[in-house]
């Protein structure tokens, strides 16, 4: 399981390949499209994002732990996710009746999103819409969103990880 | 009436958002007494300058591309600064958005619109009109650009009249034809860099720190 988190979960004894956003250096995406039209599958920025993209592509189980901000991922996770563009090709296809990019070798995934800090139902609904759209673009076969308070997020992540041990 | 057009694209100086903002500015300037200013919100200083200018604006139009099905981090950073400055005082402007995505369907921008709307609601900023652009990477420079210009003109009229409206525009093509044209467009861009289609279709996701010669490893 690959775990991408904006909370420090290193003491939680979670059996996962864990990336804590504070521990890695990830610059914002330049939007240069070099990973499509110059060095396919490879970002031109030499930082931690490329390694994260490799792990993300290979994983068949992923977990995100993120603060929700205005119905979006907060900056730390969003910055990393914007750098996952090398997982896709420039070329387009019809997927679930819509136009989307062709995926490179990206494992079909089960995903869980531990989403903390959403203030009300409206914000949860917007975030849910966002995750539903991301699922199409990140090759998620199925997913669950667990909304909770920040103080509960570590426990929820641990509980979810334990259900995936079999 | 002062309208501030903020280009919040991560590639602001060379972005399609820049052109959409410029075209919108032209539409707005057709009306007397409308003063249009442009800023970009990429680097920290530019974000700060944009935020300062919002203090005298009657309308702020945020122009940006869809990133990961939502607002790019440039917009989140701008939100953070706006939230700070308007924590204690009422924002004087109405916020409008122009969002473009590379996919054909303009509705793929809806989540990003909802995020901006929620930000405005939380900060007590009035939310105005929306233009959702599908096929936004491809439509400029084609005969369909006129559709975008017409939509931007409608948006300009809504901003001036104060009537909140949501507009959509995209290439009037069937999906299969859009995909065929889009794939040709991307292939040409790759070929300009010496790549073949097979190389562009490389399956592997690579790390620049490991890959020494990417063009030789993508067949």
B contact test, residue of A92, A104, A106 with most B CBs within 10 A = A92
Per CB-CB distance under 8 Å, the chain B contacts of A37 are 186, 189-190, 192-193, 195, 200
Domain count within chain B: 2
B141: region left, alpha or beta (phi > 0 left; psi from -120 to 50 alpha): left
In the three-class reduction of DSSP (H, G, I as helix; E, B as strand; rest coil), residue B139 is classed as coil
> Tokens standing for A136?
């199409």
Residues B195 and B139 in one domain: no
Residues B153 and B190 in one domain: no
Q: Which residue has the higher pLDDT, B12 or B48?
A: B48
CB atoms < 10 A from the CB of B1, how many? 15
CA distances to A80, A148, B19, B55 from B58, rounded to whole Å, are 35, 38, 22, 9
A-B CB pairs within 8 A amount to 178
Residues B110 and B187 in one domain: no
> What domain range includes position B202?
175-216
Angle value at C-alpha B147, between B141 and B149, nearest 5 degrees: 75
Residues B160-173 have pLDDT tens digits of 999 999 999 999 99
Give the pLDDT of chain A (166 residues) as one tens digit per residue. Answer: 999 999 999 999 898 999 999 999 999 999 999 999 999 999 999 999 999 999 999 999 999 999 999 999 999 999 999 999 999 999 999 999 999 999 999 999 999 999 999 999 999 999 999 999 999 999 999 999 999 999 999 999 999 999 886 4
Residues B42-87 have pLDDT tens digits of 889 999 999 999 999 999 999 999 999 999 999 999 999 999 999 9
Residues B73 and B95 in one domain: yes
Q: What is the CATH number of domain A2-163?
A: 3.40.50.360
In sequence order, which residues have a C-beta less than 8 Å from that of residue A97 and are 6 or more positions away?
Answer: none
pLDDT value at position B2?
A: 96
The pTM score is: 0.94
Domain ranges of chain A: 2-163
pLDDT-derived band of residue B216, with 50, 70 and 90 as boundaries? very low
CATH code (residue B87)? 3.40.50.360
Per CB-CB distance under 8 Å, the chain B contacts of A78 are 68, 70, 73, 76
pLDDT value at position B35?
A: 95
Contact of B54 with chain A, judged by CB distance below 8 Å, is answered with: no
What CA–CA distance (Å, rounded) separates B37 from B26?
11
Report residue A87 CA to chain centroid gap: 12
């Amino acid at each position: 399981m690959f775990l991408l988190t904006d909370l420090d979960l290193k003491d939680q004894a979670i059996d996962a390949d864990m990336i804590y956003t504070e521990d890695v250096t990830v610059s914002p995406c330049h939007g240069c499209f070099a990973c499509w039209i110059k060095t396919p599958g490879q970002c031109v920025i030499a930082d931690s994002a490329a390694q994260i993209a490799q792990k993300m592509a290979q994983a068949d189980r992923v977990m995100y732990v993120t603060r929700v901000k205005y119905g979006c991922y907060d900056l730390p996770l969003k910055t990393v996710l914007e750098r996952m563009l090398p997982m896709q090709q420039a070329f387009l296809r019809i997927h679930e009746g819509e136009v989307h990019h062709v995926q490179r070798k990206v494992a079909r995934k089960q995903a869980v999103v531990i989403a903390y800090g959403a203030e009300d139902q409206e914000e949860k609904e917007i975030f849910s819409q966002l995750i539903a759209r991301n699922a199409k673009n990140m090759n998620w076969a199925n997913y669950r969103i667990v909304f909770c308070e920040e103080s509960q997020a570590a426990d929820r992540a641990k509980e979810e990880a334990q259900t995936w041990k079999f | 009436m002062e309208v501030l057009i903020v280009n919040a694209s991560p590639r602001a100086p060379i972005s399609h958002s820049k052109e959409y903002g410029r075209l919108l500015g032209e539409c707005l300037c057709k009306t007397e007494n409308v003063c249009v200013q442009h800023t970009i919100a990429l680097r920290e200083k530019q974000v700060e300058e944009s935020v300062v200018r919002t203090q005298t604006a009657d309308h702020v139009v945020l122009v940006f591309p869809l990133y990961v099905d939502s607002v790019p981090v440039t917009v989140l950073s701008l939100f953070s600064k706006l939230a700070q400055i308007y924590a204690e005082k009422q924002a004087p402007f109405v916020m409008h958005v122009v969002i473009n995505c590379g996919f054909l369907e303009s509705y793929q921008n809806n989540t990003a619109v909802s995020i901006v709307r929620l930000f405005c609601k939380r900060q007590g900023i009035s939310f105005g009109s929306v233009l959702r652009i599908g096929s936004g990477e491809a439509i400029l420079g084609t005969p369909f650009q006129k559709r975008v210009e017409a939509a931007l003109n409608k948006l300009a009229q809504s901003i001036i009249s104060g009537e909140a409206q949501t507009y959509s525009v995209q290439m009037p093509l069937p999906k299969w034809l859009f995909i065929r044209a889009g794939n040709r467009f991307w292939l040409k861009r790759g070929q300009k860099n010496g790549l073949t289609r097979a190389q562009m279709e490389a399956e592997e996701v690579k790390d620049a720190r490991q890959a020494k010669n990417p063009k030789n490893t993508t067949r």
